């Protein structure tokens, strides 16, 4: 390794930027190969330690946290002292220009390639002597020697190597015997069969009209994934607040059977009543907080709560479920309000951070919108969706996003929904793995439909009429890379956030 192929100053600037703003690791750590990218022992050591500290100890870097980390291991502490300790880090932070991190990273990769080419026996002197070498990028250097060093480029600049597609076909068959290509089981049998569960490396969108319950359906699904399946879930919100999210989560766990089987509390309670603080005594009468004749409260909050505990089984049951959720969700559901900034860069950053730091592999985004800097551009929503879809492959995650249907969809028959009913950009269908479109079956349309329900007596599905007193949604699977595209009937109660899959939708008399 010659001095010409080393740029220690640039390495110092890059590592200094990481210690100055540790969250940069979210964007760059998956692309850095420290054994190739650093020619200097000290810069490689401090970079590797920064990664370990960020992922396993703390995301806050200061003198106390850094010194504590290095002191926790004798060998690491000795090397820390050898390279100058915190004084060295402090000096590097002072030199770093975070705003130039992209350029610094490009130079890091450029010299990394040069050193590896040199190790492989390639004469890099001609590249170094090129008059425009200073403005060359890593990819330019690769192109200069392409054909001789493709494998070196693959190892350093990408995360994957090309494969011969027709190899290992027999082992693929046997692997599917051992581990079938199934995801996490969904709480809806027909959808679960169609999609083969909730699968990583896929993106699913669910569309509804405005104010039709798309956020509630999302929480029905993510609550099952987190509290029943015990999977870490990340939730990004740009419409619903964190407090409203908690309220929806509580309502979901109170009223749906799979949660009742776990917390053991048998009760039904509307979300609106919980939000308004309305509770009944054991005779069904509302327990009001005491007021005087002018309407001012005369009873303290603590006394009112004590009276509720004494007189209302309903209040005690709701509190029991709330306590159960607190105990179960510690470290399972991570929420982030992105309503102030949901541009593409912010979304990607938040997803990468939750995946890298907290190990989250299942993400939910409500509601999918185009980049805030491109308001009104029809292609922007597809571009955002493309970025999110690419992340599912790169990070091996599942991503669910709710979307809004056009206002004109209210005039479309429930079974005729398709991607042209998506607000802003119907073209995003081409990017998705799975697309589901929901619409309510209005009272005057119920007589036109039935649903097929499995019959234990006859052994084959039977057609069942829709109940005039219940609320139904048609769910059209408009795209499915994993199997069938069916039309499914859901019976629901948005006040309780119960969604019951009834069967496959058919026209009456089919």
Sheet of 333-337, strand order: 333-337, 233-237, 362-366, 398-404, 202-208, 434-440, 471-480, 487-493, 498-507, 449-453, 462-465
- Please report the pLDDT score of residue 40 as a whole number: 94
How many helices and strands (H and E) does the chain possess? 21, 11
Work out the angle between the directed axes of helices 242-255 and 214-223 (0-180°, nearest 10): 60
β-pair type (398-404, 333-337)? unpaired
Separation of alpha carbons 434 and 365, rounded Å? 15
CB 504, CB 451: distance < 8 Å: yes
CB 238, CB 338: distance < 8 Å: yes
Separation of alpha carbons 137 and 140, rounded Å? 5
Which residues of the chain carry a pLDDT beneath 50? 148-149
- Please report the pLDDT score of residue 404 as a whole number: 86
CB 234, CB 329: distance < 8 Å: no
Q: Over the stretch 72-121, which tens digit does the pLDDT of each residue have? A: 999 999 999 999 999 999 999 999 999 999 999 999 998 888 888 888 77
Question: How many CB atoms lie under 10 A from the CB of residue 437?
Answer: 26
- Please report the pLDDT score of residue 42 as a whole number: 95
Q: What share of the chain is helix, strand, coil (3-state, %, to 5)?
A: 50, 15, 35
Q: What letter does residue 467 receive in the DSSP assignment?
A: P
Angstrom CA distances, 450 to 145, 220, 466, 477, 493, stand at 66, 24, 6, 17, 19
CB 220, CB 252: distance < 8 Å: yes
Any alpha helices (H) in 164-296, and if so which ranges? 169-178, 189-195, 214-223, 242-255, 257-263, 271-276
Q: What is the DSSP string of 262-294?
A: HH-------HHHHHHT--B-TTS-B-PPPB-TT
CB 214, CB 404: distance < 8 Å: yes
State which fold the 189-507 domain adopts.
Answer: Rossmann fold (3.40.50)
Q: Taking the chain, what is the end-to-end CA distance rounded to the nearest angstrom?
A: 77
Q: 3-157: CATH homologous superfamily? A: DNAb Helicase; Chain A (1.10.860.10)
- Please report the pLDDT score of residue 85 as a whole number: 94
Separation of alpha carbons 232 and 354, rounded Å? 10
CB 406, CB 210: distance < 8 Å: no
Q: Which residue has the tokens 């020619």?
A: 39
| Domain locations in the chain as residue ranges | 3-157, 189-507
Separation of alpha carbons 127 and 265, rounded Å? 72
β-pair type (202-208, 398-404)? parallel
Any alpha helices (H) in 120-241, and if so which ranges? 125-128, 138-144, 150-157, 169-178, 189-195, 214-223
CB 179, CB 408: distance < 8 Å: no
């Amino acid at each position: 390794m010659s001095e010409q192929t080393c740029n220690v100053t640039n390495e110092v600037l890059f590592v200094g930027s990481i210690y100055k703003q540790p969250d940069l690791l979210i964007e760059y750590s998956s692309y850095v190969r420290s054994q190739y990218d650093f020619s200097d022992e000290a810069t490689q050591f401090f970079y590797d330690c920064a990664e370990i500290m960020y992922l396993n100890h703390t995301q806050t870097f200061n003198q106390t946290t850094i010194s504590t980390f290095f002191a926790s291991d004798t060998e690491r502490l000795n090397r820390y002292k050898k390279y100058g300790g915190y004084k060295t880090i402090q000096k590097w932070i002072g030199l770093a220009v975070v705003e130039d991190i992209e350029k610094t990273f490009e130079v890091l990769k450029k010299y990394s390639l040069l050193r590896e080419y040199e190790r492989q026996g390639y004469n890099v002197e001609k590249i170094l002597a090129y008059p425009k070498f200073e403005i060359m990028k890593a990819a330019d250097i690769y192109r200069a020697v392409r054909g001789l060093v493709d494998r070196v480029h693959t190892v350093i600049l990408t995360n994957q190597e090309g494969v011969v597609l027709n190899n290992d076909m027999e082992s693929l068959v046997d692997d599917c015997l051992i581990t079938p290509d199934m995801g996490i089981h969904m709480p809806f049998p027909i959808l679960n069969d169609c999609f083969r569960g909730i699968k990583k490396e896929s993106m699913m969108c669910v569309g509804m009209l405005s104010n039709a319950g798309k956020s509630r359906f999302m929480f029905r699904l993510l609550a099952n994934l987190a509290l029943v399946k015990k999977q870490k879930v990340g939730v990004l919100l740009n419409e619903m607040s964190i407090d409203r999210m908690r309220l929806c989560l509580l309502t979901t766990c109170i009223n749906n059977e799979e949660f009742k089987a776990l917390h053991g509390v048998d009760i039904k309670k509307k979300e609106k009543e919980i939000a308004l603080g309305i509770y009944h005594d054991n005779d069904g009468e509302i327990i009001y907080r005491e007021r005087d004749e002018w309407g001012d409260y005369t009873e303290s909050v603590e006394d009112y709560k004590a009276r509720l505990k004494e007189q209302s089984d309903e209040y005690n049951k709701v509190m029991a479920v709330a306590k159960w959720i607190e105990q179960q969700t510690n470290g399972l559901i991570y929420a982030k309000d992105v309503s102030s900034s949901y541009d593409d860069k912010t979304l990607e950053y938040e997803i990468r951070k939750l995946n890298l730091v907290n190990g989250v592999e299942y993400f939910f985004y409500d509601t999918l919108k185009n980049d805030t800097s491109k308001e009104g551009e029809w292609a922007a929503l597809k571009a955002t969706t493309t970025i999110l879809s690419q992340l599912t492959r790169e990070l091996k995650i599942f991503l669910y996003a709710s979307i809004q249907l056009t206002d004109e969809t209210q005039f479309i028959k429930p079974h005729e929904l398709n991607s042209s009913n998506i607000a802003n950009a119907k073209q995003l269908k081409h990017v998705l793995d799975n697309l589901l479109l929901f619409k309510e079956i209005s009272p005057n349309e119920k007589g036109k439909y039935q649903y097929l329900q499995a019959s234990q007596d006859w052994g084959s599905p039977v057609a069942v009429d829709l109940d005039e007193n219940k609320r139904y949604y048609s769910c059209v699977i408009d795209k499915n890379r994993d199997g069938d595209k069916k039309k499914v009937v859901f019976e629901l109660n948005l006040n309780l956030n119960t969604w019951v899959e009834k069967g496959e939708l058919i026209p009456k008399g089919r």
